[in-house]
Chains A and B, each alone.
Chain A
Amino acid sequence: MEIKINRETCTGCSLCKKVCLYNAIEIVNGKVVINESCTFCGACIEACKFNSIEIAGLSEDKKDFSDYGGVCVYLEANGSVIADVGFELISKGRELADRLGAELSAVAVGNSIKNEAVEGFRYGLDKLYLIDNPVFSNNLDDIFAMALAQVIKKYKPEIFLAGATAFGRTLIPAVAAMLKTGLTADCTGLEIDDEKKILLQTRPTFGGNILATIVTRNARPQMATVRPHVMEKRIISEIPPDYEDKIEYIRIDGSGFKTRYKLVSMDSKLNEKINITDYNIIVSGGRGLGEGNKFSILRELADLLGGVVGASRAAVDSGWISYPHQVGQTGKTVNPRIYIACGISGAIQHLAGMQTSDIIIAINKDPDAPIFKVANYGIVGDLFEIIPKLIKRIKNGKLMV
């Protein structure tokens, strides 16, 4: 296998060199030469206007996957509560299954999760595989991976989707490794290639600077973890009266699921709201706050709006606020309905973590701050003047109603 340059058609224009992130392309005697740093990422192939670059020697999918069918979604539960991303994936899975003319199923693993899991029928589920057992009271990677792998091996879905949550992103790779199949992390786009009937998995890479579309070759199921809050959840029907017929109870012998993890303690009663990805509104602060205790005014605004406080890396590194609040490449990726950036200049690493928010409002003294490039609304001004006035206005507004 190698990356080939058609020396007849290559003009040495260096368009490909410009897009290569690995410094793998050199122009020698007016023609492209690819060096050993190449990762076969394909960026140059896209960029070439003369179709002069190709990856040769990669065999086409020749395996027969006809015994695989349908779309299956993992309903991740924390305790007996199903994470929202599971329902988002059912809505997306419905769309994909319809394109394939296939069945949509979901698998829920947990303890006392049935009541929540059947909610999935509102979003278009055809079938629910339920593993309800006290051994699954806590999220322990190894036994959950065993359970999921067993279900997938038995029912052979062609597509398997799970939420790209902290748990999903460590659990699902273990499942994929057990099944010996491919897995695409943290997807933000899923589509069916109508001709080949395969799943096109699109995900941000290079800290959100580039999008890559990925396919699973030579293995099934096609597995992907999907970023929470990206897919829209849509209720399309009531829970059908005959829903019991659509549930497959998978009885397991709990003693066969021995975990290697001993959960010593769980620190879930944190005083701070730290799961910032769960909020519709995020009020974020950066270097422009000047000092840590100034976060209190952002917190006041966030509380008023029913939101949560986020932060730039600069603010976290200065010790003004704890790391779980950090938004950006080295922190969390968020996409709330409203993101209010206060005193954040908008380094590209920060933008990578919040630019998919529905509405971005930026308040900054510097009119040239890059944050204004991604903002829907920009206010050039002093946040210490604007935010307190806004808080007052909201409080008054509430009084007037």
Chain B
Amino acid sequence: MIKIKIVVCIKQVPATTEIKIDPKTNTLIREGIENIINPFDCYAIEEAVRIKERLGDPDIEVIAITMGPSQAIEILKEAISVGVDKAVLLSDKAFAGADTWATATTLARAINKIGDCSLVLLGKQTLDGDTGQVGPELAQKMGIPFVGYVSNILEMDQNKMKVKRLMEDRYETFEINLPSAISVIKDINVPRVPSLRGKLKAKNAEIPVWGAEMLGLDVNEVGLLGSYTQVVKIFTPQIKHETTLIEGTPDEKVEHLYRILKESHVV
């Protein structure tokens, strides 16, 4: 019996959902933002754990990995608390400033080091970067197929899986051989909350930390040095605030609204 290993790639991100606009200055309030597990990754973790439960095989191993600073260990513990078996933290000063390419390089190397991985699961994108590129890039580096925006894993065994992906206007169902990588969307499941036992397991979990050297990576392959793209400017977009309030009786308001639509040639 071949042991199935599932690796879930997760990321710690600033909780941009907590970002508020300062009503006086119309600028973002950025201070004091907490770090959280990327919300999309919760669906990937949950799906990995469900696959294990569904196949009912205790030998299946679900491993969460993340690349980040030392405090990113928190999200790995969170993953363990909801059913992940093991976790590895990829942390090294040299990893900082990585673009999607350098991130994919690092993650792919770690997955190879774990070895014999059947499935790589990711969230569809991160909350901070919003790129969704790491999954397809790392699959390409590993030479395995990638399916993005998966809304449903219909079937899976040791050798293959059947998945449904959401495109703009349609769903497509594919059969692919394993090993493969997929990214999942919110539709796929409802993530569970940690159990007391899970929390205890997370508390006692030993999480190894792998740096560039342990992964056999040169400092020039990782982080900002190993990146092909670089941020040269960061700025806050102008928030529109010339709002015309439409006043009057409901009928007058509707008439005004109708005029706007008429002027826009939609009615």
Contacts and interface: CB of A to CB of B under 8 A. Distances in A.
B232 A177 contact: no
Interface in A374-401: 374-382, 385-386, 389-390, 393-394, 397-398
Nearest to B167: A166
A278 B173 contact: no
Chain A's interface size range is 35 or more
B246 to A, nearest CB: 5
A378 B245 contact: yes
- Of B128, B129, B147, B231, the most chain A CB neighbours within 10 A belong to B231
Contacts, number: 314
A41 B234 contact: yes
B229 A277 contact: no
Chain B's interface size range is 35 or more
Contacts of A180: 228
Nearest to A370: B21
B193 to A, nearest CB: 16
Contact of B253 (A58, A139, A266, A386): A386
Contact of A266 (B28, B147, B170): B170
Contact of B224 (A1, A35, A398): A1
A380 B244 CA distance: 11
Interface in B145-204: 145-149, 151, 162, 165-177, 183, 185-187
Given A55-B224, A176-B137, A393-B254, A42 B128 contact: no
B267 A398 contact: yes
Interface stretch (B48-56, B78-86, B95-103, B206-214): B95-103
B67 to A, nearest CB: 11
B243 A182 contact: no
Given A141-B136, A329-B127, A361-B260, A378 B246 contact: yes
Contacts of B225: 1, 58
A177 B239 contact: no
Interface stretch (B1-9, B31-39, B58-66, B113-121): B31-39
B140 A267 contact: no
Interface in A205-247: 205-219
A377 B236 CA distance: 23
Contacts of B254: 386, 389-390, 393
A60 to B, nearest CB: 11
Given A173-B140, A185-B130, A42 B257 contact: no
Contacts of B235: 46, 210-211, 213
Nearest to B40: A330
Nearest to B260: A377
Contact of A212 (B127, B187, B234): B234
Interface in B12-50: 14, 16-17, 19-21, 26, 28, 30-31, 33, 35, 39-40
A43 B186 contact: no
B218 interface: no
Interface stretch (A19-27, A107-115, A122-130, A248-256): A19-27
Interface in B217-242: 223-225, 227-237, 239-242
A261 B128 contact: no
| Interface residues of B, dominant DSSP | mixed
B136 A173 contact: yes
A274 interface: yes
A372 B229 contact: no
Given A173-B140, A376-B240, A397-B258, A209 B28 contact: yes
A43 B253 CA distance: 43
B186 A185 contact: no
A13 interface: no
A175 to B, nearest CB: 8
A173 B137 contact: yes
B168 A169 contact: no
Contacts of B131: 185-186
Interface in A93-135: none
Contact of B186 (A1, A35, A330): A330
Contact of A394 (B183, B232, B258): B258
A217 to B, nearest CB: 5
Contacts of B132: 169-170, 173, 185
B16 A206 contact: yes
A21 B229 contact: no
A323 B151 CA distance: 10
A167 interface: yes
Given A173-B133, A330-B39, A39 B240 contact: no
Nearest to B127: A207
Contacts of A22: 14, 35
- Of A21, A266, A304, the most chain B CB neighbours within 10 A belong to A21
A200 interface: yes
B231 A174 contact: no
Given A21-B33, A210-B234, A215 B229 contact: yes
A211 B128 contact: no
Nearest to A42: B231
Contacts of B10: none
Nearest to B168: A275
B196 to A, nearest CB: 26
26 contacts: A36-B70, A36-B96, A39-B96, A42-B232, A42-B234, A169-B133, A176-B101, A183-B228, A184-B229, A185-B100, A204-B237, A205-B128, A208-B237, A209-B16, A209-B236, A211-B234, A211-B235, A213-B231, A213-B234, A268-B170, A275-B168, A305-B267, A377-B244, A379-B245, A386-B257, A389-B251
Given A166-B149, A170-B149, A355-B240, 5 more contacts: A186-B131, A207-B127, A338-B264, A370-B21, A373-B26
Please name the 8 residue pairs, one residue from A and one from B, whose CB atoms are nearest each other, closest first.
A182-B228, A40-B97, A275-B169, A177-B140, A185-B131, A170-B148, A173-B136, A182-B229
Interface of B: 14, 16-17, 19-21, 26, 28, 30-31, 33, 35, 39-40, 69-71, 93, 96-97, 99-101, 104, 127-133, 135-137, 139-141, 145-149, 151, 162, 165-177, 183, 185-187, 223-225, 227-237, 239-246, 250-251, 253-255, 257-258, 260-262, 264, 266-267
